Structure 1
Amino acid sequence: MSSASPPRERPRLRGDRGSEAIQAAIVTPLLIAFVCLAIAAGRIAISGGKIEAAAEDAARAASIERTESAARSAASGAAARSLQDQGIHCASTGVSVDASGLAAPLGQAGYVTVTVSCTVGLSDLLLPGAPGAKTLTSTFTSVIDAHRARQD
């Protein structure tokens, strides 16, 4: 006589039911937050590069002038134009010019150093409505031609 054995049932793992949904619910917001932080860091870095370009433009404009007052005026105007052209909207802008190199004797190279600082609202950089602001600052030095005539 043959004995027939009953069919085997698969063991059920009741503790694993729904674990993928829980993992997704935990991981998804973390991934979204990470992506948002990466985008924010990238936008801040791009804005910093635009501030550097504005400082370079301002220093070059100041180094072409012959007097300190004209250099300060040219640097401020060039920085404002550069920031506007690049689409940077500053809540406050500061342009500091060291044009003492214009007083160097003829035959010696002088330098003009310009520092541009721009306070940008985080709502412009990150998401609309984001609170706070970030001040970005850049300094650039431009050489004055050693053999160019200068005024005292």
Structure 2
Amino acid sequence: MEAAIVAPAVVVMVLIVVLGGRIQSAGGVVDAAARAGARAASLERGGTQAQKDAARIAVQAVLAGEHVDCPAELEPVQVGSGPDGLQTVTVVVDCTVQFDRLTLRWVPGSAKLHGQFTSVVDRHRGTG
């Protein structure tokens, strides 16, 4: 009799822990996508538009490769100056993940995930 009362509560707690782990894992993928986008933009030889395109392609490739199904909002690639006058590229990825895509189909809600990374532009990459 006690098992009939406790078992549903234990199952719910396990599902909450699994959901938390899946959210954490998806957050890591969003961070990896931002890193890949910043690195791709920093290696791009073209101008700012080419850097943005390279970042977008890299971000989408990482998200698709890790099966994170979310519409990623890639903020414009920011080019700035870092320490010692080095040029930097910053990529910010915001992604809203629906819980029903991470676990069971009937779980309502969503989580907003954020990833940001700054990479130093490779000064030996050449131009043209």
Structures share fold, TM-score greater than 0.5? yes
- Matching residue of 1:114: 91
Name the larger-Rg structure: 1
Matched, 1:128 2:105: yes
Question: How many Å apart are 1:133 and its aligned residue?
Answer: 2.2
Name the amino acid aligned to 1:88.
V
- Matching residue of 1:144: 121
Contact 2:77 2:90 (C-alpha < 8 Å) held by counterparts: yes
- Matching residue of 2:69: 89
Matched, 1:34 2:13: yes
* Count of residues in Structure 1 that have an aligned counterpart in Structure 2: 125
Name the amino acid aligned to 1:62.
A
Matched, 1:68 2:76: no
Contact 1:108 1:146 (C-alpha < 8 Å) held by counterparts: no
In 2, Cα distance between equivalents of 1:119 and 1:45? 13
Contact 2:40 2:54 (C-alpha < 8 Å) held by counterparts: yes
In 2, Cα distance between equivalents of 1:148 and 1:74? 15
Name the amino acid aligned to 1:83.
L
Matched, 1:50 2:29: yes
In 2, Cα distance between equivalents of 1:49 and 1:33? 25
Q: Which runs of 5+ in 1 are unaligned?
A: 1-20
Q: Which runs of 5+ in 2 are unaligned?
A: none
Question: How many Å apart are 1:117 and its aligned residue?
Answer: 1.4
In 2, Cα distance between equivalents of 1:36 and 1:99? 39
* 3-state secondary structure, aligned to 1:100: strand
Question: How many Å apart are 1:120 and its aligned residue?
Answer: 1.6
Instruction: Report which structure shows greater RCO (CA 8 Å, sep ≥6).
Output: 2
In 1, Cα distance between equivalents of 2:125 and 2:104? 49
